[in-house]
Structure 1
């Protein structure tokens, strides 16, 4: 079992590599991944169920001890990233489907990879988990509402239908995971060892499916979308950090909220875009899924090295 856990952890820590390789393979041989498209909501549901399996009441104790930090993090998540996406879409004159895809990424909650990056960056892991969890639980209402508010000028959007989808593929699996962890804790502890591997496989397949059905559009606009994704992600890190700083939060929480705001549940964005819009709208989410793990790793490594230097001077 220890070898299986080590194998699973290795895949979890090297997710960006496997995601990139899968995306490249799907671009080169899209026919190998066409079968994934109808399974994408189920794959994301598996990832969310895994998230639920890792949650327990102690993860939310920080809400009582430091409610300000969690509130700032959740508010920044649903304000900074959607507005940044909107401004980029307007300023760069993005085509409607791409603009909608970028804004949808911004309107989604934080991604679970942020918890790992926060740990590596010597941030506040409890705060990271709490902000990710709370923003995800609020997503069924806030994601379609924010997305409709900012993107309806480009596309016809059914916020109600999107709410139902998020309830089905995000909230329900998380609730089932929490219940399983509560009432079948011994069994779920064994399953937890392989969660990183399962999550990596599921998200990589989602990326492969999105790239496979969007190859032609990626060939046309891939460089533009990549540039927008990099800007969106990096501005999120920067504004998340300064939002926490302006609110008087300590340095470890500034790092944490920078990562929380910059890293999105882009798998959810890609899934919703495929379901409701043209496949090209899913491309920003797919590219974001790869890129934010690369940039998050680099940022975490910088902060970890900085923390090590500070500790060595003491």
Structure 2
């Protein structure tokens, strides 16, 4: 990818997306966690513990080259983004829970993302001293992730009407920016991407489907109500691909590390949409069966 896009375009794009997230957040969003602790804890366990192990298993099963394996683990450690909120709204999830989970995940990711990435590098690329998120780079991740979110929250606190007015335009702009960033990553690196597409398309598709499924069915297993499970599903299943691309290319300085996130970022829109329609079809099927059950019992 061109140096200007890598050093300027990608961080600016992510900054706008995270700033937009901050515009929609208030301290109450963090406090709201206390009202649904069960759903939040289960979703965080799925996001922070189960998914990295699932991704690790997929990477081993597919025998990915080390740099792509690390890229997949970097993707798995990336939190959900604003796109998850939109999908949750579309398919009648608990958007308030999405906002709370996104806020929490963005903060926690400052610790877990460098940790998981460094563990992946140590396992798949032992002895590699050119990669890794040491203290200085971890601070850089902190600035990239939290600084624009904090700025957006301050703007909302000081200019609430402006934040409310900008919420929808910034959400739309975030999606457009996400598409442009991923498209730019694909076009600029089409040769290396095409060379690895065969082994990345299937694993990223499976990872997305497993993420969505774990995010929905694990909470339901623990009797979390359906709207919250839908919210959890999209929050866990739709990773912030832009963040993974920015960390890979600007912080770690590796184009190859960003390839799994670039492929995933394209496919996740369609996979999440299909999954959402699948949930909706299941709801309709249950609604159709309910009258029959009542008639039979009568």
Please report the TM-score for the alignment, with normalisation by the length of structure 2. Answer: 0.87
Residue aligning to 1:295? 271
For structure 2, the 5+ residue unaligned runs are: 292-298
Alignment of 1:44-123 (within 5 A): 44-123=14-93
Corresponding residue to 1:286 among 228, 248, 262: 262
Residue aligning to 2:100? 130
Q: Deviations over 1:74-106 (max 9, x none)?
A: 121111222122111112111111111111000
CA distance in structure 2 between the aligned counterparts of 1:254 and 1:53, rounded to whole angstroms = 25
CA distance in structure 1 between the aligned counterparts of 2:237 and 2:81, rounded to whole angstroms = 9
CA distance in structure 1 between the aligned counterparts of 2:159 and 2:211, rounded to whole angstroms = 38
Residue aligning to 1:8? none
Residue aligning to 1:25? none
Corresponding residue to 1:258 among 230, 233, 242: 233
Q: Are 1:226 and 2:201 an aligned pair?
A: yes
Distance 1:179 1:132, change over 3 A: same
Alignment of 1:121-200 (within 5 A): 121-155=91-125, 156=128, 157-200=132-175
Query: Aligned-pair RMSD on alpha carbons?
Result: 2.1
Distance 1:296 1:88, change over 3 A: same
**Aligned 8 A contact 2:220 2:229 in 1:** yes
Return the offset for 1:253. Answer: 2.5
CA distance in structure 2 between the aligned counterparts of 1:105 and 1:80, rounded to whole angstroms = 14
**Aligned 8 A contact 1:77 1:110 in 2:** no
CA distance in structure 2 between the aligned counterparts of 1:277 and 1:94, rounded to whole angstroms = 20
Partner of 1:187, secondary structure, is helix
**Aligned 8 A contact 1:121 1:302 in 2:** no
**Aligned 8 A contact 2:114 2:138 in 1:** yes
Residue aligning to 1:201? 176
Please report the TM-score for the alignment, with normalisation by the length of structure 1. Answer: 0.83
For structure 1, the 5+ residue unaligned runs are: 1-29
* Range with bigger deviation, 152-161 or 93-102: 152-161
- The structure number with the bigger radius of gyration is 2
Corresponding residue to 2:6 among 24, 30, 37: 37
Q: Deviations over 1:203-236 (max 9, x none)?
A: 1232133223422211211121111100111111
* Range with bigger deviation, 110-119 or 238-247: 238-247
CA distance in structure 2 between the aligned counterparts of 1:121 and 1:189, rounded to whole angstroms = 23
**Aligned 8 A contact 2:213 2:233 in 1:** yes
* Range with bigger deviation, 141-150 or 242-251: 242-251
**Aligned 8 A contact 2:13 2:178 in 1:** yes
